[in-house]
Homo-oligomer: A and B are copies of this chain.
Amino acid sequence: MRWTQFFIPTIKETPLGTEAISHKLLLRAGLVQMLTSGVYSYLPLGLRALRKVEKIINEEMNAIGARELFLTCLQPMDLWKKTGRDETLKDVMIRFEDKKGRQMCLGPTHEEAITDLVKNHIQSYKQLPLVLYQIQTKFRDEMRPRFGIVRACEFIMKDAYSFDRDKEGLEKNYQLMYSAYQKIFARCGLDVVIVGADSGAMGGDISHEYMVPAEIGEDEVLVCPACGHALGISEAKEGQACPKCKKEKLKKKPAIEIGHIFQLGTKYSKALDVSFLDEKGKKQIVIMGCYGIGVSRLLATIIEKNNDEGGIIWPKEITPFDAEILPLQVSDKDILQLAYDYEKELSQSGIDVLTDDREESPGKKFNDADLIGIPYRIMIGKRMFAEGKVEIKDRRTGEVIVVAKEDAVKKMKEILK
């Protein structure tokens, strides 16, 4: 992809009213744009990164047998009345009456909708277990949207739902999800703290939160200054602190919640009467679990944890492009041609390449390359080029190696392998 044929509106100045590093960088690198407070559009570069996150989630969900579907934003309030959550979620729900006089809302979550969906299709124990998930836009009437896409009025979530015949089935699916979440966050390059959590408005007994310690976090974890081990506030209270460190020395640190899994039990299946017949022909209530990941928030968290003063440093699996090529003097036909040759060869090897073919100063190009954070770049500058050489730079370490121009593609392939 050529920069001039893409759309990456980078911004030099720090936008006003931004507190979080991720928020500043999402805007400055041309990844997102605010339409109105709490409402953000994804620009092409941001969408590419978002799609990478979604791809990882898709792969790990499919690997544990979860099947993707796509529920709706619009939901009838009638459905929410059946579980009483028209009241408990009142404050965050966006509601309206449509032309036909129906009371509707924009889904802040989908337990009711999915339970209603499977209701008519589960008759027998033979159809269980069933795990369904979606990646879908959700809505919250947020009084104080904050930190860009971390706490927004419109955001993207992955939400999965398990349906089992008994508690053992639920526990098995819960464990599968628990591990899948660890894989997902590891592939996103994040160290997470998993803490037992209060189930809140979701109902059910057991739940776990996936937290990433970070300055802008609105939740908290306890961190041991000695060993770095972190754990949940409630766990420590219950005397389950990590053995090596003394409870009184644990320090509270802010953390971002990026995932939450729940053993729901029968709260929703009872309210909506989702049952099946067991081997003996006896009616049983389906047992449910639900499993959420804040997808847009996850993208922000990745940036929050992977940056330096120059900009973003994308982890390998999330980066919108694998490599960037910087011809520094595009007016020099030979330099530009070499960039195009690299682009072609790398693309043919299945490597996603961005070529900064703009007529801009080398300084501007370096700054923008740091800002958008592609992990590796090939720089073709006049002086080196005259000696038959180019430079390859590692965005994270800053390390630069000089290679003969004939060897650059081979070297880049080795690095990216």
Chain B proximity of A238: nearest CB distance (Å): 36
Binary per-residue interface labels of chain A (314-350) against chain B in the complex, 1 for a CB within 8 Å, 0 otherwise: 0000000000000000000000000000000000000
Q: Is the CB of B74 within 8 A of A47?
A: no
29 contacts between A and B (CB under 8 A): A5-B65, A6-B67, A7-B69, A7-B121, A7-B132, A9-B120, A35-B74, A35-B113, A36-B75, A39-B72, A39-B75, A39-B76, A41-B71, A41-B117, A42-B69, A42-B70, A43-B117, A44-B67, A44-B132, A47-B69, A72-B154, A73-B137, A73-B154, A74-B153, A94-B98, A95-B96, A99-B141, A99-B142, A100-B143
8 closest A-B pairs (Cβ-Cβ)?
A: A9-B121, A42-B70, A96-B96, A36-B76, A44-B67, A41-B71, A99-B141, A39-B74
Chain B proximity of A283: nearest CB distance (Å): 19
Chain B: which residue is nearest A143 at the CB level?
Answer: B99
Question: What CA separation (Å) do A200 and B332 show in the bound complex?
Answer: 50
Known contacts A36-B76, A36-B102, A44-B132; 5 further A-B pairs (Cβ under 8 A): A39-B72, A41-B72, A44-B67, A47-B69, A73-B139
Q: Is the CB of A74 within 8 A of B9?
A: no
Report which A residues bind B (CB closer than 8 A): 5-7, 9, 33, 35-37, 39-44, 46-47, 50, 65, 67-76, 79, 94-96, 98-100, 102, 106, 113, 116-117, 120-121, 130, 132, 137, 139, 141-143, 153-154
Chain B: which residue is nearest A142 at the CB level?
Answer: B99
Question: What CA separation (Å) do A142 and B98 show in the bound complex?
Answer: 9
Most buried by B among A36, A95, A132: A36
CB neighbours of A132 from chain B (8 A): 7, 44
Question: What CA separation (Å) do A9 and B153 show in the bound complex?
Answer: 34
Chain B: which residue is nearest A129 at the CB level?
Answer: B5
Question: What CA separation (Å) do A79 and B34 show in the bound complex?
Answer: 13
CB neighbours of A35 from chain B (8 A): 71-72, 74-76, 79, 113, 116-117
Number of copies of this protein chain within its complex: 2
Chain B proximity of A105: nearest CB distance (Å): 10
Chain B: which residue is nearest A78 at the CB level?
Answer: B36
Q: Is the CB of A44 within 8 A of B65?
A: no
Chain B proximity of A237: nearest CB distance (Å): 33
Question: What CA separation (Å) do A154 and B70 show in the bound complex?
Answer: 12
Question: What CA separation (Å) do A251 and B119 show in the bound complex?
Answer: 47
CB neighbours of A41 from chain B (8 A): 69-72, 113, 117
Chain B: which residue is nearest A10 at the CB level?
Answer: B121
Q: Is the CB of A98 within 8 A of B153?
A: yes
Question: What CA separation (Å) do A241 and B89 show in the bound complex?
Answer: 59
CB neighbours of A9 from chain B (8 A): 120-121
Q: Is the CB of B39 within 8 A of A68?
A: no
Question: What CA separation (Å) do A398 and B39 show in the bound complex?
Answer: 52
CB neighbours of A139 from chain B (8 A): 73-74
Chain B proximity of A333: nearest CB distance (Å): 19
CB neighbours of A76 from chain B (8 A): 35-36, 39
CB neighbours of A43 from chain B (8 A): 69, 117
Chain B: which residue is nearest A122 at the CB level?
Answer: B9
CB neighbours of A154 from chain B (8 A): 72-74
Q: Is the CB of B72 within 8 A of A117?
A: no
Chain B proximity of A335: nearest CB distance (Å): 20
CB neighbours of A102 from chain B (8 A): 36
Question: What CA separation (Å) do A20 and B389 show in the bound complex?
Answer: 66
Question: What CA separation (Å) do A39 and B76 show in the bound complex?
Answer: 10
Chain B: which residue is nearest A91 at the CB level?
Answer: B99
CB neighbours of A116 from chain B (8 A): 35
Chain B: which residue is nearest A96 at the CB level?
Answer: B96
Given A74-B39, A74-B153, A154-B74: A69 touches B44 (CB 8 Å cut-off): yes
CB neighbours of A120 from chain B (8 A): 9
Chain B proximity of A387: nearest CB distance (Å): 32
